[in-house]
C-alpha cells in the first residue's frame, strides 16, 4: 500500500505554530509566570486634565489649587469690614437706582451706574446718577437727550465725554433690541458700548439675580494678588477673575466682590495700606513684606 506523506510546504496551515494544549501548558513551569508578567507590564492609559477645574454650582474643587489659610483670611476680612463702613456700602452701584420704579427701569439705572463707575470713586458715581435721575433716567430720556447735556450731568466722572457717548448709544440699542430692558446674558451685555466683563457680571448678579462670575475691579484685582490668592501674579482683572473662579466656591462669588471692594477702600488701599492694623498681616504675603521692610528701617 502506497501512502503519500504531506510535506510542510504542502499545507500552509501546518506552517502556523501549534497552540499548546492545556496539558502541555501545565508542563511548562514558566508559562504562567511569563503570561502574568506580560499582563502586568502592559502600559496603562492615564489621562490628565490641563489647567484648573471650573465647576459650577456649590462645589468643592477636587484638583484645583487653593491658597493656604484662605478661609481664615476671608473671615478676618469679614470682621474688619463690619468695623468700618465703606463707600461701597452706601454708594455702590446697587445703591444708585430708584428701587421704587419698575424692575426694568431699576435694571437700566443699575447698568448706567456700572458704566459710570469705571475708574471713578463711588461718591462721584452716586452723585452723577442722582443728577441723571432728576433729569429722568430711562432709556427713552437718555436716547433722546443731547450728548452735551449728558456730559454736563455726569461730569466729573472719569472719561465723561466717552461715557456720555456710550450711554446714549446703549440707550438706543436697548430700545431697539431689548424693549428698553438690559440683556440677560454676559455676552449680550458685553456687546453694549462701554460695558466690560466686570460690569456684566455685576449686572447679572444685581439686576437678574444670577451669579455667573466674579466682578473684579481694581480693588479685587489688587487685593487678590496681595493676599496670594492666585497661583501666579496676574496682570489684568480678567486674569484675576478666572484665577479666583478656579478655586473659590461659587456661593462666595457675590460676597467676595462686595467684601474686597470695601476692604480696599478702607484698609488695603492702593497707596498707604494699613498693614500694621490688618488682622491678616501675618497671613498675607504682602503684609509680611511690609512688616519686614518697616522693621529693617527701625
Instruction: Give the contacts of 166 (CB within 8 A, at least 6 positions apart).
Output: 115, 192, 193, 194, 195
Range 70-84+215-286 has CATH code 3.30.565.10: no
What is the SS3 assignment for 157? coil
How far, in Å, CA of 94 to CA of 261, rounded?
Answer: 13
What is the SS3 assignment for 80? helix
What is the SS3 assignment for 246? coil
pLDDT at 17: 46
Report how far apart the first and last C-alpha atoms of the chain are (Å, whole number): 120
Residue 133, number of CB atoms within 10 A of its CB: 17
CATH topology agreement for domains 70-84+215-286 and 87-208: no
CA 249, 250, 253, 259 dihedral sign is: negative
Burial class (CB in 10 A: 0-12, 13-18, 19+), 172: middle
C-alpha cell at 2: 502506497
Q: Where are the domains of the chain?
A: 70-84+215-286, 87-208
**Among 75, 38, 97, 70, residue whose Cα is nearest residue 224:** 70
Residues with catalytic roles: 198
Of the options 3.30.70.890, 1.10.340.30, 1.10.540.10, 1.20.1280.50, the CATH number for the domain spanning 87-208 = 1.10.340.30
How far, in Å, CA of 16 to CA of 21, rounded?
Answer: 15
pLDDT values of the chain reduced to their tens digit, one per residue, 298 residues: 444 444 444 444 444 444 444 444 444 555 554 444 444 444 433 232 333 333 344 444 445 799 999 999 999 999 999 999 999 999 999 999 999 999 999 999 999 999 999 999 999 999 999 999 999 999 999 999 999 999 999 999 999 999 999 999 999 999 999 999 999 999 999 999 999 999 999 999 999 999 999 999 999 999 999 999 999 999 999 999 999 999 999 999 999 999 999 999 999 999 999 999 999 999 999 999 998 777 666 6
Amino acid at each position: 500500500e502506497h501512502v503519500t506523506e504531506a510535506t510542510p510546504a504542502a499545507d500552509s496551515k501546518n506552517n502556523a505554530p501549534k497552540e499548546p494544549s492545556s496539558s502541555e501548558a501545565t508542563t511548562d513551569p514558566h508559562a504562567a509566570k511569563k503570561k502574568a508578567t506580560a499582563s502586568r507590564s502592559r502600559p496603562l492609559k492615564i489621562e490628565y486634565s490641563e489647567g484648573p477645574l471650573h465647576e459650577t454650582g456649590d462645589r468643592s474643587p477636587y484638583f484645583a489649587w487653593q491658597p493656604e489659610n484662605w478661609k481664615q483670611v476671608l473671615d478676618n476680612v469679614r470682621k474688619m469690614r463690619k468695623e468700618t463702613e465703606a463707600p461701597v456700602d452706601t454708594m455702590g452701584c446697587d445703591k444708585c437706582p430708584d428701587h421704587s420704579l419698575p424692575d426694568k427701569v431699576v435694571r437700566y439705572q443699575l447698568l448706567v451706574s456700572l458704566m459710570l463707575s469705571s475708574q471713578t470713586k463711588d461718591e462721584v458715581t452716586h452723585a452723577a446718577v442722582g443728577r441723571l435721575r432728576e433729569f429722568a433716567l430711562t432709556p427713552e430720556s437718555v436716547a433722546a437727550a443731547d450728548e452735551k447735556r449728558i456730559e454736563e450731568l455726569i461730569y466729573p466722572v472719569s472719561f465723561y465725554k466717552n461715557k456720555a457717548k456710550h450711554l446714549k448709544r446703549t440707550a438706543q440699542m436697548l430700545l431697539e433690541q431689548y424693549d428698553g430692558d438690559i440683556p440677560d446674558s454676559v455676552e449680550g451685555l458685553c456687546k453694549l458700548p462701554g460695558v466690560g466683563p466686570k460690569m456684566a457680571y455685576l449686572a447679572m448678579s444685581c439686576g437678574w439675580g444670577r451669579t455667573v462670575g466674579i466682578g473684579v475691579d481694581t480693588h479685587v484685582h489688587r487685593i487678590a494678588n496681595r493676599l496670594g490668592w492666585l497661583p501666579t501674579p496676574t496682570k489684568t482683572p480678567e486674569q484675576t477673575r478666572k484665577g479666583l473662579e478656579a478655586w473659590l466656591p461659587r456661593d462666595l462669588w457675590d460676597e467676595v466682590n462686595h467684601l474686597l471692594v470695601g476692604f480696599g477702600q478702607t484698609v488695603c488701599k492702593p497707596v498707604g495700606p494699613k498693614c500694621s492694623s490688618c488682622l491678616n498681616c501675618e497671613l498675607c504675603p504682602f503684609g509680611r513684606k511690609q512688616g519686614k521692610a518697616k522693621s529693617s528701617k527701625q
